[in-house]
Structure 1
């Protein structure tokens, strides 16, 4: 059995539930990444914040990124999907596909130890698996106009 441990990135950085969106943005810039897991004080993942979340869920709604915390953003995120380090890789990919997840935190005894991303799957899996994954995960459910039924 091939597990998530075989393709996960172990150098995953994260932010605390108490970190502000401003510090999250600065950390993303520093690391040249577009998302960071949000962890509680015991390094247990409770959410993920993306650069898009900072813009759409914080700034665009008039919240101050200097005072809005990652924990506040994570509370509205719903259920966070994670997998254990020993999870079968096919099961992890199926979870990502089924829930259109681009980044999947990997845990060991509930604590963050890695992350599996689209890029990890693209590097590690055969072409047909990657193609199906990208097609499913990146499928957009765009609203349609009532006049011509084309995406807006």
Structure 2
């Protein structure tokens, strides 16, 4: 059976907890992404930051992205899966948490990310349609 490690894209770039939101935003622009995992000095996943987080939780609240760090913005425990998690379970987790990107860990280390694009490349049209419907349901 297909698992997260089979469909993820490898080489996810982390932003360190101590880096500013401005640095995170620059890295997002350079990589043309809207999401970065937050890693600690232990090189383990400590959170997730999105471009939307930076805008809504810092800039729109009068914060200074040149001073606020990624670690300060991170809240709660990040949702992730192991590389050997079956794709059906990956899909359920993403739908349940209504997330579009899911970090993949191997031995507590970040090895990749499953995104909507990865799902679209590897799942049936019916599965992708159900996923999009589930995460875009009313209430956003």
2-structure distance, mates of 1:119, 1:140 = 22
> Number of residue pairs matched?
140
Alignment-derived partner of residue 147 in structure 1: none
What TM-score results when the alignment is normalised by the length of structure 2?
A: 0.96
2-structure distance, mates of 1:55, 1:37 = 17
Alignment-derived partner of residue 32 in structure 2: 32
Could you tell me how far 1:103 is from its partner in structure 2? 0.7
**Larger radius of gyration between Structure 1 and Structure 2:** 1
2:132 counterpart of 1:119: no
Could you tell me how far 1:9 is from its partner in structure 2? 0.6
2-structure distance, mates of 1:138, 1:118 = 12
2:98 counterpart of 1:100: yes
2-structure distance, mates of 1:133, 1:119 = 12
Could you tell me how far 1:14 is from its partner in structure 2? 1.2
Could you tell me how far 1:140 is from its partner in structure 2? 3.4
Tell whether the 8 Å contact from 1:42 to 1:111 is kept in structure 2 after alignment: no
What TM-score results when the alignment is normalised by the length of structure 1?
A: 0.89
2:83 counterpart of 1:82: no
Aligned ranges 1:46-65 → 2 under 5 Å? 46-65=46-65
CA deviations on 1:95-128 (whole Å, 9 max, x unpaired) are 0011101110000111100000111101110000
4+ residue stretches of structure 1 with deviation over 3 A? none
SS at match of 1:60: helix
Alignment-derived partner of residue 70 in structure 2: 70
RMSD (CA atoms):
1.0
Q: 2:135 aligns with which of 134, 137, 142?
A: 137
Unaligned runs of 5+ in 1: 143-152
